[in-house]
Amino acid sequence: MKNCYRYRLLFVFGVSMLFSCSPFKPAAMPDAAGEIPDAYALYEGEADYASPWWESMGSAELNRLINAALSDNFTLKEAWFRLQQARSLAVQAGAERYPDLSASGAIEFDRRRTENTFGSSIGEERYAVGLVSNYELDLWGRIRSQQRAALLTVDATQADLQTASITLAAEVADRWVRILAQQRQKQLLEKQLANNLIFLELIELRFRKAMVSALDVYQQKQVVENVRAQIPLVEAETQLLIHELAVLLGRPPRTNLGLKQMNMPAVGQLPAVGLPADLLANRPDVRAAGMRLKAAEWQVAAARANRLPAIRLTAGAQYGSSELDLLFNSWLLSLAANLTAPIFDGGRRAAEVDRTQALADENLWVYRQAVLTAIKEVEDALESETRQLEHIQGLIAVKDAAQKGLQEAIGRYRSGLSDYLPVLTQLLVVQDLERDLINQQALLILYRIGLYRALGGDWPADAGPH
């Protein structure tokens, strides 16, 4: 009997070694990323990610806010636990490569009354324990393909977490810059309001001396009230942005975030952006799309292997109540090998192969779209920042000319050479330009943040909350 079991095991082992030498493997897809430009239109150079990009902004306050968000943001925590789920699924997928072992036990107790003696009864106890093990020989690599697909899904989910971290850091910086811009707008409006009140006092003084008409007074009062009316809107927008920033940090909207910085950060030279091909490694969303493409290819291999025969082994050992005293000397062992082969399933397995192949083709185009989108975002950020800088330089020149025109108009008005309308016109132009310049300078910084976000960067493998 022992020799029979030994021969069975040797036979099964030999068959498994024979078939496992040539498992299905996913077909290679050359040039999966598609056509990639050799360089960016406005910039070339080697990428440099020696430190987190926000440190280049030179603000300790921004560093503190982003670090707090990366630790406490709720959306990032969700992504982290999705990664944990993917890792658990990968463990489950790989568990089929090993035999399972389960234990069973049963106890029965019977009592029956005897006929010979009145009132007496006889009790009998029966119990048994056993072990059962099941194992499928992975002849065609189906289980290995499923495990490989699951592991690649883990890598893709890890990249999703890094993408969420990059997006979160950019959003925190975005809200912070907008808050600074609104605070500067309020300061400017208060300064303009004070200057307009001074102009109003001078005009009222000239009106009392019958040097100007009441129309000049009313026009200047209109300017004063217009500036005054804009201050509450700026205050409301500032508070709404603070609420958004607090939620990004995982805190209630009315939390005091300790925002003290008032100056806008300076934007230096363009960072070293590298080459478009670098995005395949630097952009975690592109990496995630590539990982899902490879996972889909392994799923195709698993579906093809599922159409072929499979050998499953079952082994069991059972001990009854009469053998427990001789547990190691008297036992019953059973070993069975079952061969199952699909004959007719209504085309279900073939359809699964077609479905997984279509899924792989879909992921191929998703990956190519991700690559093109990443290159486009970098190109957009470079173009936007370059043209925005030129626009700001033009605005500064326009504001300088408008201020000179205002001084000239005031001089002619005081000399009685013109009425107040030229002064009013130039005053409104200068003040609008001053407010617009703050917005455009903030937009320049936001374009730089968008560039850092588009480049991706070298993020650690364990980025995210723990």
% of the chain beyond a pLDDT of 70 = 79
Statement: residue 48 has pLDDT above 60: no
- Of 370, 334, 340, residue with least CA distance to 456: 370
Domain ranges of the chain: 1-23+99-137+309-341, 31-97+141-307+349-455
Mean pLDDT (whole number) for 310-339? 61
Angstrom distance (rounded) from CA 220 to CA 218: 5
What pLDDT score was predicted for residue 385? 92
Q: What is the pLDDT of residues 214-230, one digit of tens each?
A: 998 999 999 999 999 99
% of the chain beyond a pLDDT of 90 = 38
Which of the four pLDDT bands, split at 50, 70 and 90, describes residue 466? low
Mean of pLDDT over the chain: 82
Half-sphere exposure of 296 (CA within 13 A, CB side): 21
- Of 81, 97, 101, residue with least CA distance to 146: 97
Q: What is the pLDDT of residues 285-304, one digit of tens each?
A: 899 999 999 998 888 888 88
Of residues 357 and 180, the one with the higher pLDDT is 180
Angstrom distance (rounded) from CA 187 to CA 227: 12
Statement: residue 27 has pLDDT above 80: no
Architecture of domain 1-23+99-137+309-341: Single Sheet (2.20)
What pLDDT score was predicted for residue 330? 46
Do residues 319 and 130 touch, judged by C-beta distance below 8 A?
A: yes
Of residues 63 and 31, the one with the higher pLDDT is 63
Phi, psi of 334 (to 5 degrees): -125, 140
Side chain identity at residue 146, one-letter code = Q
Which CATH homologous superfamily contains domain 31-97+141-307+349-455?
Answer: Outer membrane efflux proteins (OEP) (1.20.1600.10)
Q: What is the pLDDT of residues 313-322, one digit of tens each?
A: 777 666 665 5
Which of the four pLDDT bands, split at 50, 70 and 90, describes residue 14? very low
Other beta carbons within 10 angstroms of residue 58's beta carbon come to 11
- Stated pTM of the model: 0.81
Of residues 52 and 175, the one with the higher pLDDT is 175
Statement: residue 10 has pLDDT above 60: no
Statement: residue 403 has pLDDT above 50: yes
Do residues 186 and 235 touch, judged by C-beta distance below 8 A?
A: yes
What pLDDT score was predicted for residue 350? 85
Statement: residue 345 has pLDDT above 80: no
Of residues 343 and 260, the one with the higher pLDDT is 260
Do residues 398 and 433 touch, judged by C-beta distance below 8 A?
A: yes
Do residues 402 and 434 touch, judged by C-beta distance below 8 A?
A: no
Which of the four pLDDT bands, split at 50, 70 and 90, describes residue 235? very high
Which long-range contacts link 249-257 to residues 24+ away (Cβ below 8 Å)?
A: 249/65, 249/68, 249/69, 249/72, 249/73, 249/172, 250/68, 250/69, 250/72, 250/73, 250/74, 251/72, 257/65
Mean pLDDT (whole number) for 178-202? 94
Give all strands (DSSP E) within 94-120, no chain letters.
100-113
Paired sense of beta strands 100-113 and 121-137, if any: antiparallel
Q: What is the pLDDT of residues 245-265, one digit of tens each?
A: 999 999 999 889 999 999 999
Mean pLDDT (whole number) for 116-132? 64
Q: What is the pLDDT of residues 414-432, one digit of tens each?
A: 888 888 888 889 999 999 9
What pLDDT score was predicted for residue 22? 46
Of residues 296 and 125, the one with the higher pLDDT is 296
Paired sense of beta strands 310-320 and 121-137, if any: antiparallel
What pLDDT score was predicted for residue 463? 57
